[in-house]
Amino acid sequence: MRLRDCHNFHDFRRLARRRLPGPIFDYIDGAADDEVTHRRNTASFERCDLVPNVLRGVENIDMSVTVLGQKLAMPIYCSPTALQRLFHHTGERAVAAAAAKYGTMFGVSSLGTVSLEELRQAHDTPQVYQFYYHRDRSLNRTMMQRAKEAGVQVMMLTVDSITGGNRERDKRTGFSIPFRLTLAGMYQFGIKPAWGINYLTHERFKLPQLDQHVDMGSGALSISKYFTEMLDPSMNWDDVAEMVQLWNGQFCLKGVMSVADARRAVEIGCTGIVLSNHGGRQLDGSRAPFDQLAEIVDAVGDRIDVIMDGGIQRGTHVLKALSLGAKAVGVGRYYLYPLAAAGQAGVERALDLMRSELERGMKLMGCTAINQLSRENLRFR
């Protein structure tokens, strides 16, 4: 199986599975507890049908949107995700370059493996900086100031990860940074030697957003341990309001799922919210973002940019979310599998397929611009 054989999300996933050692594939692929919420995120779209219009003259299609003050050529962006150079040695560099080629936004995580300054200097496309609220308040201020000085346009605070989810796949393999593997995990690395050769022959793995604050040399830093020991479970709305004022720009909360929290985000001055359950990796049994989208748009959509992130695998999923009122959608696994499979070429192919699906879908829906999509185009089973 080669990259040119990949025509959809599931093809990319299969190719990534062939090329990655089991523990790393499971880190991307896995979710919390029984992974019910992870499956539900995509399944939620199946209860919604598109109702197309015809004879609308759809020769020219405009897929551009403006979200969080940024003009995007299409209504999806690459959400910030951690540890990308574990999946492919080019990591965030590949994702940023692909996003720039397709005129969309990309995110850099606090647990990113390339510095936000390098990426900001390399690409003019809008950049999001995603960070977590640490127990060390001075670290939070330092990270925000660093992003401001680098020229990052959008600050995104993840609020649904105050403690780590129960990711049992990682427990079984011993996945951690640096690696501290079980025997089963070591075997999986042994049967995929190409990944190990790439890992060892390229620049040393690091977390440049945190390397001055996290000791990577004295034992394994597990992802769960990072969430449990470094993040501040006492974070509250007053803390976030202070950060919004300090940033004084486009500030987005990622992980909002209730109407009450959406309204509070508006009150403290946020300019955007991302409906997300962290890809099902935190609270298993929680509701899918698509199922919450309509009521949150109805409550605050005229005062704040509402974005949806979770379960997107097809262009028709994006059209359904936009029809319900989302300003844009974020994707994570959708670009991580192709990144793992083929680096920048993989991410570009995934974004190109998505762009083609969106253009085709809009033509078949009888729409020439995103603002023509509405709930009149939808019916729920």
- What does the pLDDT read at residue 174? 79
Q: How far apart are CA 125 and CA 129, in angstroms?
A: 13
- What does the pLDDT read at residue 191? 80
7 counts as catalytic = no
| Ranges 171-180, 227-236, 332-341, 345-354: which has the least confidence | 171-180
Q: How confident is the model at residue 34 (pLDDT cuts 50, 70, 90)?
A: very high
Whether 56 contacts 83, CB under 8 Å: no
| Residue 353 amino acid letter | L
| Residue 315 amino acid letter | G
Q: Coil, helix or strand for 18?
A: helix
Q: How far apart are CA 379 and CA 42, in angstroms?
A: 17
Residue 104 confidence (pLDDT) above 60: yes
Sign of CA dihedral 167, 173, 174, 178: negative
Span 278-298, mean pLDDT? 97
Nearest residue to 247 via CA among 269, 266, 274: 269
- What does the pLDDT read at residue 221? 59
Highest mean pLDDT among 69-78, 167-176, 220-229: 69-78
Q: How far apart are CA 366 and CA 327, in angstroms?
A: 19
Angle between helices 289-300 and 315-324 (to 10 degrees): 30
Query: Which tens digits make up the pLDDT trace of 361-371?
Result: 999 999 999 99
Query: Which tens digits make up the pLDDT trace of 4-28?
Result: 999 999 999 999 999 999 889 999 9
- What does the pLDDT read at residue 217? 52
Q: How confident is the model at residue 171 (pLDDT cuts 50, 70, 90)?
A: confident
Query: Which tens digits make up the pLDDT trace of 232-255?
Result: 889 999 999 999 999 999 999 999
- What does the pLDDT read at residue 210? 83
- What does the pLDDT read at residue 251? 98
Whether 181 contacts 173, CB under 8 Å: yes
**Out of 38, 134, 278, 317, which one is annotated catalytic?**
278
Q: How confident is the model at residue 380 (pLDDT cuts 50, 70, 90)?
A: very high
Average pLDDT, whole number, for the chain? 93
- Backbone Cα Rg of the chain: 20
